Structure 1
Amino acid sequence: MLTDTPHQSLVERIRDIGHAEAVRRFFGLLKELIDIVNLPNGDARLAFVVKQDKSSITANVNFFQALRIQRPRRGEIEYHLTIKKSYQDRLKGIEELVFEPLTEKSDYLAVVIGQSNVHLLYLPILRTCWEDCLLELVESTKRGPHSARHNTDVYRAAEDEAFLSELIRLADDPTLEDRILNGLGVEEPETEYETASKLPQQPHNLILFGPPGTGKTFALQPYLHEQNASLITFHPSYSYEEFVEGIRPEAINGQISYKIRKGIFYKACQSAIQQAGYGTIADCLNDSQENRRQKLAKAPAHYLLIDEVNRANVASVFGDLITLLEADKRLGAENELWLTLPYSQERFGVPINLFVIGTMNTTDRSIALLDIALRRRFSFREIRPDATILGEIDGIELPQLLRTINERIEYLLDRDHQIGHAYLTTIKTYAELCDAFRDRIIPLLQEYFFNDWAKIQLILGDNPAWGKDPNQRLIWIKRKYTANAANKLFGELPESMDEVVTYEINPNLQQDHYDQVPVEAFIRIYQKL
């Protein structure tokens, strides 16, 4: 309960601003500022100021304005983020941004963003410029004292979601505090929303899997054209600390400090929440379950795209969030759950309007080897090589060529190691076809079969029984070592020696003499005379 009076000026400014969502968004930014500068409430380097003569709330760091929200007498609500003047060129391409100098001779300026362009607040390049500036401001030698101007309630509201929610309720209804103090109790009415869902009809967690070159990453492109999408590529050393949140060391003026940094999954969940009108994840969790359900159901979708999802240790990267990924356990769903994050101790949940879509190369790791908990929570959609999109080059039927090679690979190895159509889709000339086989397809077959050249010959129809003329073969037999040849090479016969055969790639193909590589070298891969 709010039983004291020092908060009154802050309540009045929130009332002047008159936009609860904008206020929550500002305090979400302020929480990030506090985490970055890593200073306690009351530190002389901070001044969180509530001005009575202006409808604004300002966060100052060492006498410099760092963040502000204000409602001008005319016009929409504005957010002011301070950056170094030297960073202005990085942002010039974003036409909606307005730049205002803090003072005539200042090395810093404010980036002004109106409420109608609020999505720009979350541009990665802008956030990087702002965060870099905060780290510089906190080390400035131009110090306080700020204690006379600092409003401790502003700091508290950024750290305490429940306190902020009560401030906003008081600003919305000036009679509320009297009724609370008189013990009458108040129940916030449920807001009515349209119930029509805007969420796409697709699995919330989807993995596109298949051999290399089948267009799995290409299938993510339509999502990237959406405004609400984030892309990450997993790698073997990727961790929970990078994906969700973790403590990162930072060196400032030779001093090492450790701060909590949010990962792309956390930020994607936050972006999805903001699509529903919430400023932060905490704001969403503080809302009633029914309001939350209806808001998230009609919110636009946000997509988190994970390329090469199986290259990381997925169970380790997702950690304790694996349960929250289930569609019915998400915020806004029937059996919604949330947990407390281990580093920040914040409550956290995955919103129902977040869609996680990954790609998986089956040659790297089979689906059968994935964590069974992950397999249960994701839908899997296989993307196979599509030979029908290929054409003909100099009488070579590329569709039949690809189908024959893949059928042989599936017989000798498995279906997960087939060759995708992307290896041949860009080919326009015979020389480009030769390049593709020399630089991409044959090296891939070497990897698949661990340099078992006899099997590679079978794949390409270069085995003697298939009937190719010697000059038409892409893989040549370099030499067969009989007992006499081996005895001549070593001076004695190696023990337990079987007949040894060495191979080489057609020298004309290797040396770019494509005019010496007959077209039949490729036609006869799929066609036996």
Structure 2
Amino acid sequence: MIYQKLETAFGNLITYYNLVVDKVEINKPAVRGDSMFDKNMILYGPPGTGKTYNTAIYAVAIIENRSIESLFEEDYQTVLKRYNDYKKLSQITFTTFHQSYGYEEFIEGIKPSLDEDQEEQLQYKIEPGVFKDFCENAQHLKVTNNEQELEIDARVWKVSLGGSGMTELKKDCFKNNRIRIGWDEIGEDLTQEDIEYPSTSVKDILDHFYNIMSIGDIVFSLGDQKHIDGIGVITGEPEWLDEAEYKRSRSVKWIAKNIHEYVYDLNGKKNLTLRTVYELKRISIDNVNELILQHSQNEEFTVEENKKNYVFIIDEINRGNISKIFGELITLIEPTKRLGAPEQIKVRLPYSKEDFGVPQNVYLLGTMNTADRSIAMMDTALRRRFRFIEMMPNEQLLNGIKVGDIDIQKLAEVINKRIDVLYDREHTIGHAYFMSLRDDPSIENLEKIFRNAIIPLLQEYFYEDYSKIQMVLGDNAKANDLKFILDTPIQMNAVFKANPDIDIPENKYSIQLAAFNKYASYIGIYE
């Protein structure tokens, strides 16, 4: 009877246990999508365990929605080639956090730039950071017109085609798939230095039309102060038309025409003005996508949401100030808070005043060196939102590597066992330090590895407590000529007069360079 009650009780607890370990989700299990991977992951472990090396495998696996095991079965160079191809397609971005990295570089900030015409004049512009730019790229819709895919960018422009309402110029533009502006009297060639513009405003408008607008940008046609009446995609470079007026033109594919869409709220509660051309910086790309999806139900266009996976890699994620870098986005990266999720959240960004959210198809993949900073020291908010994947030294990968009679696998295993006892497992030494010996199994290469990598690492770990370094390397049981760290008794009388009343170590330590090119010095580590 008691056993039956216990079995029932444990059965009831399983659901809550699974919820805690993220096995099930409330109400909508499909938040994570069809991918087998978590949205936010961190590969963590001691130095030299292949964390950065493995980000390429994980990124390709996420994009192709394949298991990690299947990628490990492939040749690494083949996987790396696909990784670089995805980087060129902007599906993968790689960045490294450091102490000076901030919100302005990651999300958005006000950054200085020199005026192109007056190089000595400094301007300040609101620029998107790498992560915001990456998220907007991941939201680009796939728009097809007559089986031809249109290039879509995140930049949105408002154009006035002859003013507000339905004008003759707007009718022409809607009919002939283009936008047109005037100031014909200035002439076609705007590269001459002696051009007299009617005003600075006109000069800026023409500069935007010719130099800043680009193929793939979105254009909204002005309806009135709070509405637009057309949505198009720029498909051509500027042209000069031999027509009566409004000779400056750009080809546009109109996805929607003769609509009456309220955009006042989307534009940060700012009215649209009659200014001929200007950028709508407050309207976010997901708002634009919603408008396009809403108004593109016609036979000419096929509009699909972006279903591709995108991977944003952050190397050394624990070296940055997480609160400073992520800001309010620390909440937005949660799977249940992303765009399209039941509890989706958007925030109003402080500089651009634009609503922003993190799309479902963006995956965050970080790396973390446990020797640099313990997980226990990590920002709690970050720890709760990431799945941690431990990557420890795998000495089996060193199997068969020998330098003369030196067994590299045994050497690495013994060193790591001793570090684990004297310090902890998070400060062991990764197998990657020794992998170059597979191609160059020479004593010279092994000497270089020990002198330039292993010894400095041990000095850092043990704060130059050379007695412990000796124990790690087995020097405490070697003949003096085979010791990497040589200990020599201090002759007090030879150094000081009388007997100083202070604690002085019995031995002094020095690195014995002659031991590094002796095979017996390395064999003595594990025998």
TM-score, length basis structure 1: 0.57
Match of 1:422 among 402, 425, 432: 432
Q: Deviations over 1:238-262 (max 9, x none)?
A: 0001100000122333222211111
C-alpha distance in 1 between matches for 2:137 and 2:368: 25
Whichever residue aligns with residue 251 of structure 1, its letter is L
Q: Is the CA contact (8 Å cut-off) linking 2:32 and 2:38 kept in structure 1?
A: no
Match of 1:475 among 485, 501, 514: 485
SS of the residue corresponding to residue 430 of structure 2 reads coil
C-alpha distance in 1 between matches for 2:377 and 2:304: 34
Match of 1:247 among 84, 97, 110: 110
Q: Are 1:274 and 2:287 an aligned pair? A: no
1:500, distance to aligned residue in structure 2 (A): 2.7
* Corresponding residue of 1:208: 43
In the TM superposition, 1:330-409 aligns within 5 A as 330-390=338-398, 391-409=401-419
Q: Are 1:259 and 2:125 an aligned pair? A: yes
* Corresponding residue of 2:256: none
SS of the residue corresponding to residue 322 of structure 1 reads helix
Q: Deviations over 1:272-315 (max 9, x none)?
A: 111666743824235559x79xx998611011011111111012
Residues 288, 255 of structure 1: alpha-carbon distance in 2 compared, 3 angstrom cutoff: closer
SS of the residue corresponding to residue 345 of structure 1 reads coil
Q: Are 1:505 and 2:368 an aligned pair? A: no
In the TM superposition, 1:156-235 aligns within 5 A as 200-222=35-57, 223=59, 224-225=83-84, 226=86, 227=89, 228-235=91-98
C-alpha distance in 2 between matches for 1:379 and 1:275: 29
C-alpha distance in 1 between matches for 2:49 and 2:316: 13
1:399, distance to aligned residue in structure 2 (A): 1.2
* Corresponding residue of 1:460: 473
C-alpha distance in 1 between matches for 2:142 and 2:322: 28
Whichever residue aligns with residue 306 of structure 1, its letter is I
Q: Is the CA contact (8 Å cut-off) linking 1:296 and 1:352 kept in structure 2?
A: no
1:470, distance to aligned residue in structure 2 (A): 2.2
Q: Are 1:431 and 2:444 an aligned pair? A: yes
Residues 197, 473 of structure 1: alpha-carbon distance in 2 compared, 3 angstrom cutoff: closer
C-alpha distance in 1 between matches for 2:141 and 2:366: 22
TM-score, length basis structure 2: 0.57
C-alpha distance in 2 between matches for 1:361 and 1:309: 9
In the TM superposition, 1:98-137 aligns within 5 A as none
Q: Name which structure has the greater RCO, CA cutoff 8 Å, separation 6+.
A: 2
Q: Is the CA contact (8 Å cut-off) linking 2:482 and 2:515 kept in structure 1?
A: no
Residues 371, 337 of structure 1: alpha-carbon distance in 2 compared, 3 angstrom cutoff: same
C-alpha distance in 2 between matches for 1:287 and 1:456: 60
Whichever residue aligns with residue 495 of structure 2, its letter is L
Residues 197, 305 of structure 1: alpha-carbon distance in 2 compared, 3 angstrom cutoff: closer
Q: Deviations over 1:443-486 (max 9, x none)?
A: 111111111110000000011xx3x2222222111x212xxx32
Q: Is the CA contact (8 Å cut-off) linking 2:370 and 2:426 kept in structure 1?
A: yes
C-alpha distance in 2 between matches for 1:393 and 1:370: 40
C-alpha distance in 2 between matches for 1:213 and 1:282: 41
Whichever residue aligns with residue 522 of structure 2, its letter is F
C-alpha distance in 1 between matches for 2:95 and 2:504: 50
Residues 243, 499 of structure 1: alpha-carbon distance in 2 compared, 3 angstrom cutoff: closer
| Residue correspondences, number | 318
1:499, distance to aligned residue in structure 2 (A): 4.0
RMSD, matched Cα: 2.5
Q: Deviations over 1:207-240 (max 9, x none)?
A: 1001110000001223333231001011111000
Residues 276, 506 of structure 1: alpha-carbon distance in 2 compared, 3 angstrom cutoff: farther
Q: Is the CA contact (8 Å cut-off) linking 2:46 and 2:371 kept in structure 1?
A: yes
1:507, distance to aligned residue in structure 2 (A): 2.9
* Corresponding residue of 1:306: 314
* Corresponding residue of 1:320: 328
Q: Is the CA contact (8 Å cut-off) linking 1:297 and 1:332 kept in structure 2?
A: no
